[in-house]
Amino acid sequence: MDWITTLEDLHAQYGQPGEAATVKVTNRLTPAYRAWVDRSRFCVLSTVGPEGTDGSPRGDEGSVAAVLDPQTLALPDWLGNNRIDSLRNILRDGRVSLMFLIPGALNALRVNGTARLTADAALRARFARDGKEPRTVIVIDIAEVYSQCARALIRSALWTGGDQSAGLPTVGDMLREITEGRIDGKAYDADWPGRAAQTMW
C-alpha cells in the first residue's frame, strides 16, 4: 500500500477548503453556537493520555454541558463504572474535544480546548438532581468551536434509518465472550436495569 506521509501530498489529494469551512471557527461561543450547547443532551468527550486516546459518551436529561461564560463549559461527571479513563487522561494531558449531537439535527457542534477537574462544592451543587451531585465537574476552556456539516449524518441515516439494533450482542454477551464464560452474560443483562436505576445520578 502506498502511504501518504507528508502534508504536501495530503493537501494535493484534497485541495483547499472553502471559505465557510474556515470562517466558521471561533474561540468562543457565539449566540448560535451556544444555542446548540444549550439544546444538546448528548456529546462525545475525547481525551488523550500516555496510554492513548479515549472517547466517552456523555448524556443528561437537560443540557449535557453548562455554559459558564462564552469561553468556558462545565461538564458534570455523573456515576459510571469508575474506570474514569477520561478523568485520568485530563489530569495528565488537558487536551479535549467535544462533539455535541441533537436528535434530528443533521449538523453537529465541535469544541476543542483544554480541561481541568474540580470537586468545587458550589459548582457540583449547580448540577444537583434529586439530592445527588456529580462527583467532579470537568471545566473546559474553549480554544475552538465550530459546526460540522451534515454529510456524515446524511450518509449514515443516523436519525432516519429507524431502529437498527435488533440482533446486536448485548454487553452481557460481550462480557461472557471476553471472560470465556466466567461472567454469566444473561444474568448481567437481566440485573443491569435495576443497577442502572439505582446509579443513574
Exposed, middle or buried: residue 9 (CB in 10 Å: 0-12, 13-18, 19+)?
exposed
Does the pLDDT of residue 14 top 90, yes or no?
yes
Q: Please identify which residue in the block is written with the cell numbers 436529561.
A: 61
Q: Return the C-alpha cell found at 118.
A: 474540580
Running DSSP on this structure, what letter comes out for residue 94?
-
pLDDT tens track for 16-40:
999 999 999 999 999 999 999 999 9
| Per-residue pLDDT, 197 | 87
pLDDT at 3: 96
Indicate the pLDDT class of residue 199, thresholds 50, 70 and 90.
confident
Region 83-104: mean pLDDT is 97
Q: Is residue 142 predicted with pLDDT exceeding 90? A: yes
pTM beyond cutoff 0.85: yes
Tell me: the pLDDT tens digits for 162-191?
999 999 999 999 999 999 999 999 999 999
Q: 134, 127 in Cβ contact below 8 A? A: yes
Please state, in angstroms and rounded to a whole number, the distance separating the CA atoms of residues 100 and 123. Answer: 22
pLDDT at 198: 85
Question: Which residues have C-beta within 8 Å of that of residue 129, sequence separation ≥ 6?
Answer: 61, 201
Q: What are the tens digits of pLDDT across the range 34-62? A: 999 999 999 999 999 999 999 999 999 99
Q: State pLDDT tens for residues 97-132.
A: 999 999 999 999 999 999 999 999 999 999 999 899
State how far the Cα of 60 lies from the Cα of 64, in Å rounded to an integer.
5
